């Protein structure tokens, strides 16, 4: 795919020689807060008499890396990447427009398909925003809160396992793809038992969760917790200590804390630079302040740190899940507010009121008071936030999801500069974008 | 349970009590979250002042088209315009959030860019331009980011149709 | 395939067959159906389920399809897995055009088949507006069982030669719809031995 496709619009990238100094400074220097003189003498890339030797090539949108439809325009000099421009929008689904047509109860089905690798986190942030608007966020039953935490953490595990699989495959350890998916299947089997679906569950709804945990769930979770640690140690042997792996990842895609903060990167990217920012610990939601876990922080800001952080976050998530197993209370799985929660199906035969509530909630939807709210939680990729503006009707007036991958993709040009093309693949893989939430 | 903003007891001394003005802009409270309403002229100055105060991360920049909901609650002295740009800033050191709501009129849908203060807002502002048609002065590359380059119209505006095709099932609303 | 069925029907006597004869078309169709390499066109959530189908648990390698070719020139089947947006539709068509005949298309998931839950301005309401589709697999996302059912349906049709016949008649894809298969109660447990 080397020809520029004229049909979907020419997203052009002119060669560096054609850019004015000011444009170049904006592109490269603003993040680093460099002056024009510093930009002009960017060490590794001297002004060359044969500047016309640079080549602009197009990577994607259909390419074998598993990260979806991301298109990168790279300006190369030989094998070195000088500049990079990511072009997105190939998966734009108009989800924010669709959200204005769906009621708040249906909103979960829409939002869950944005970051399709961690659907529970999307549903959770949407539900939390709706609950804040409704004013019931302090009244969610305990069991529902702990169930949400359990599912979120298991989701984090499955998402990071997929990261390890795709990271391994991108860098050549193809068997890692098979191993990662093997573990993920185990977690997805548990999800299917609880929610009925392997992916895109629409299980966490405003007011609680959709159904109770099935009988025997404790044994399933314990089986998972017994199975995965030794597999993770296998991955450590396969990858972490392996010289080829280290050579390919260490020093690749380095980003400093200032740059990461300036670009708005959150999640493993920010933590790899040394900034210990994890919303679960620093601005706790649900009951994360009642569980013990460590926040894994890197020191070099390179791709190896991000890989190690995600590997260890799987271990931390398992720790949290173990604690949740001990604490899970008995109780309701959703709030008993008739206006928000549909009644149990059996009551519909008995009570006229229950029938009316059921009807109203499922056809018209429950009305949410006016206002606007922003809630941010920690998804496996960073801070996922949901901004809802409501005008008192059953559908949101405006729903916007702050997708972590959308902001993290801005780090790509910065991380790739000066590296090789092969490192470009490693960098994309270490940022772990999910194009569903980038494009929404 | 999750009052995300307002652990601001040891922040600047103008945040401790419920202030009526922050950096000269009216303040409102939205479900426990602090929201300030700068004017377009003072927008950059306020963001810069907040960045100096510690709000180093621009978490989110989006816009809302209030065409169908003109009389939403706003503090006194703020004229309601068709568009609003909503910026959520995050302070990592003091663990707090703040929101800015900037009113942008329909006829003059232009706003200053935050790129020089928060380079991470580049893609978000492009998305706002693409979806709403609000232009940002001095933005390095204001072009469509989600829709094809030659698309006409701004999809998230309220006068832009969803674009549904009719479906056979009665009562299907999407 | 009739040739192989004849040999199998003979039981032990089939072992003494040293020569197998048949029509050239049958042999070609037989080999095409058992070695149809997919072009990787994974777009969204369905792509994840497609990759799960390629994983060890569901293993489409037993159908000869585990090599997802990056280059469309080397691929036979294009599994359109995911929602196709307006910006992606020309790319989809270009990749389809680059594939060599004979080629087949499986539309995986409801978003690819009809636009799915996203009936709006941004999503092409069914990839059959862009490419001729042979098998539609419903589901959001389809479980790997459904995808395998769709693949097997396609393979069956390739083996019969029906798809190519229909193509020359109508110029369009076969347009076969399969049912969604939900996961049944007792799956194989890995790690319990």
Best C44, C54, C181 residue to mutate vs chain A (most A CBs within 10 Å): C44
Q: A384 pLDDT exceeds 90? A: yes
Which runs of consecutive H residues, i.e. helices, occur in A328-366? 345-350, 352-359
A contacts of B95 (beta carbons < 8 Å): 282-283
User: Tell me, what's the pLDDT at C2?
Assistant: 61
What pLDDT was estimated at residue A152? 93
Q: Does residue A342 have a pLDDT over 50?
A: yes
Q: Does residue C18 belong to the interface with chain A, where contact is any CB pair within 8 Å?
A: no
Cα B30 to Cα A130, A269, A282, B34, C182: the distances in Å are 13, 31, 21, 6, 44
Reading the block at residue B30, the tokens are 């939205």
Contact C120 B151 (CB under 8 A): no
Q: How confident is the model at residue A18 (pLDDT cuts 50, 70, 90)?
A: low
Question: Interface partners of C (3+ CB pairs, < 8 Å)?
Answer: A, B
Q: Residue B10 above 60 pLDDT?
A: no
Q: How far apart, in whole angstroms, are the C-alpha atoms of residue A374 and residue B152?
A: 30
Minimum CA–CA partner of C89 in chain B: B148
Q: Where would I find the beta strands (DSSP E) of A305-410?
A: 371-379, 382-390, 398-402
Average confidence score pLDDT of chain A = 84
Of B40 and B21, more confident: B40
Structure token digits, residue A316: 């931390």
Closest by CA position to A104, among listed A124, A127, A122, A132? A127
Asked if residue A155 has pLDDT above 90, the reply is yes
List CB contacts (< 8 A) between B73 and chain A.
370-371
- pLDDT confidence of residue A127: 92
pLDDT tens for B142-153 read 888 888 888 888
Whole-angstrom Cα distance, residue A107 to residue A111?
6
Alpha-carbon distance of B58 to B105, in angstroms, equals 23
- Give the minimum alpha-carbon distance from C131 to chain B in angstroms, rounded to a whole number: 19
Nearest to C88 among A69, A192, A227 (CB): A69
CB contact under 8 Å between A192 and C57, yes or no, is: no
Q: How far is CA B164 from CA A9, A146, A427, B155, C116, in A?
A: 24, 39, 38, 13, 12
- pLDDT surpasses 70 at B169: no
Q: What is the pLDDT of residues C132-189, one digit of tens each?
A: 888 899 988 898 888 988 998 888 888 887 666 666 666 666 667 777 666 555 444 4
Percent of chain C clearing pLDDT 90 (strictly above) = 5
pTM: 0.87
pLDDT of residue B173: 52
Give the H/E segment covering residue C48.
helix C45-54
For A201-253, how does the pLDDT look when each residue is reduced to its tens digit (9 = 90+)? Answer: 889 988 888 888 888 899 999 998 998 998 888 888 888 888 888 888 888 88
Query: Which residues of chain C lie closer than 8 angstroms to B167, CB-CB?
Result: 119
Interface touch A198/C190, C-beta < 8 Å: no
Q: How close A6 gets to chain B, by Cα (Å)? A: 10
Does C122 touch chain A if contact means CB atoms closer than 8 Å? yes
Residues of A with CB under 8 A from a CB of C: 1, 5, 7-9, 61-64, 66, 68-69, 89-95, 97-98, 109-110, 113, 116-117, 162, 177-178, 181-182, 184-186, 188-189, 192, 198-200, 223, 227, 435-436, 439
């Amino acid at each position: 795919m080397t020809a520029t496709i004229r049909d979907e619009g020419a997203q052009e990238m002119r060669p560096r020689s054609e850019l004015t100094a000011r444009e170049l400074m904006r592109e490269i220097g603003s993040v680093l807060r460099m002056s024009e003189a510093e930009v002009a003498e960017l060490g590794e890339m001297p002004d060359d008499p044969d500047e016309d030797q640079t080549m602009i090539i197009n990577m994607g949108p259909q390419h074998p890396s598993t990260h979806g439809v991301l298109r990168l325009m790279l300006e190369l000099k030989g094998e070195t990447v000088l500049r990079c421009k990511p072009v997105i929008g190939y998966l734009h689904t108009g989800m924010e427009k669709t959200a204005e047509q769906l009621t708040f109860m249906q909103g979960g089905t829409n939002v869950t398909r944005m970051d399709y690798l961690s659907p529970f986190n999307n549903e959770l942030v949407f539900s939390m925003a709706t609950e804040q608007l409704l004013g019931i966020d302090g009244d969610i039953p305990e069991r529902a809160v702990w169930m949400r935490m359990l599912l979120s953490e298991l989701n984090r595990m499955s998402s990071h396992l997929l990261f390890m699989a795709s990271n391994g495959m991108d860098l050549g350890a193809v068997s890692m793809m098979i191993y990662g998916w093997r573990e993920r299947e185990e977690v997805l089997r548990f999800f299917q038992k609880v929610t009925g679906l392997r992916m895109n569950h629409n299980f966490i709804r405003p007011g609680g969760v959709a159904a109770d945990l099935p009988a025997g769930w404790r044994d399933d979770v314990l089986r998972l917790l017994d199975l995965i640690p030794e597999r993770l140690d296998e991955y450590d042997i396969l990858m972490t200590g392996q010289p080829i792996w280290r050579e390919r990842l260490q020093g690749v895609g380095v980003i400093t804390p200032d740059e990461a903060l300036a670009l708005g990167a959150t999640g493993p990217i920010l933590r790899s630079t040394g900034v210990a920012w994890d919303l679960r610990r620093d601005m706790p939601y649900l009951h994360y302040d009642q569980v013990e876990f460590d926040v894994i922080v890197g020191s070099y800001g390179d791709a190896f740190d991000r890989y190690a952080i995600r590997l260890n976050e799987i271990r931390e998530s398992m720790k949290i899940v173990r604690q949740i197993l001990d604490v899970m209370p008995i109780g309701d799985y959703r709030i008993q507010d008739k206006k928000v929660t549909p009644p149990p199906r059996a009551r519909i035969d008995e009570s006229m009121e229950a029938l009316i509530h059921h009807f109203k909630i499922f056809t018209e939807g429950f009305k949410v008071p006016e206002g606007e709210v922003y809630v941010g939680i920690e998804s496996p990729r960073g801070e996922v936030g949901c901004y809802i503006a409501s005008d008192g009707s059953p559908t949101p007036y405006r729903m916007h999801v702050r997708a972590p991958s959308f902001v993290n993709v801005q780090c790509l040009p910065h991380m790739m500069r000066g590296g090789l093309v092969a490192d470009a693949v490693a960098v994309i893989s270490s940022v772990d974008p999910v194009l569903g939430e980038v494009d929404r | 349970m999750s009052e995300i903003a307002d652990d601001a007891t040891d922040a600047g001394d103008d945040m401790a009590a419920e202030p009526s003005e922050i950096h000269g802009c009216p303040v409102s409270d939205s479900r426990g979250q602090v929201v300030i309403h700068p004017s377009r002229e003072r927008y950059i100055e306020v963001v810069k002042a907040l960045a100096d105060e510690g709000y180093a991360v621009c978490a989110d920049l989006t816009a809302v088209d209030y065409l169908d909901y003109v009389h939403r609650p706003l503090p006194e002295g703020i004229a309601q315009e068709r568009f609003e740009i909503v910026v959520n800033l995050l302070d990592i050191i003091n663990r707090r959030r703040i929101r800015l709501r900037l009113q942008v009129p329909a006829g003059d849908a232009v706003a200053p860019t935050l790129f020089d203060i928060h380079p991470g807002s580049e893609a978000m502002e492009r998305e706002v331009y693409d979806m709403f048609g609000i232009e940002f002065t001095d933005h390095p590359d204001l072009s469509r980011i989600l829709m094809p380059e030659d698309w006409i119209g701004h999809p998230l505006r309220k006068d832009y149709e969803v674009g549904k095709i009719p479906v056979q099932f009665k009562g299907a609303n999407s | 395939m009739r040739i192989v069925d004849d040999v199998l029907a003979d039981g032990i006597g089939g072992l003494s067959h040293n020569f197998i004869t048949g029509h050239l078309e049958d042999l070609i169709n037989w080999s095409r159906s058992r070695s149809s390499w997919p072009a990787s066109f994974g777009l969204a959530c369905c792509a994840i389920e497609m990759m799960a189908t390629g994983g060890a648990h569901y293993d489409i390698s037993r159908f000869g399809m585990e090599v997802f070719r990056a280059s469309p020139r080397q691929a036979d089947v294009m599994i359109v897995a995911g929602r196709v947006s307006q910006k992606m539709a020309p790319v989809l068509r270009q990749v389809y055009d680059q594939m060599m005949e004979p080629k087949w298309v499986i539309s995986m998931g409801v978003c690819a088949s009809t636009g799915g839950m996203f009936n709006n301005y941004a999503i092409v309401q069914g990839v059959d507006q862009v490419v001729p589709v042979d098998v539609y697999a419903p589901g959001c996302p389809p479980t790997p069982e459904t995808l395998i059912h769709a693949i097997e349906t396609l393979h069956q049709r390739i083996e019969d030669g029906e798809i190519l016949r229909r193509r020359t008649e109508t110029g369009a894809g076969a347009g076969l719809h399969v049912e969604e298969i939900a996961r049944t109660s007792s799956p194989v447990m890995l790690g319990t031995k």
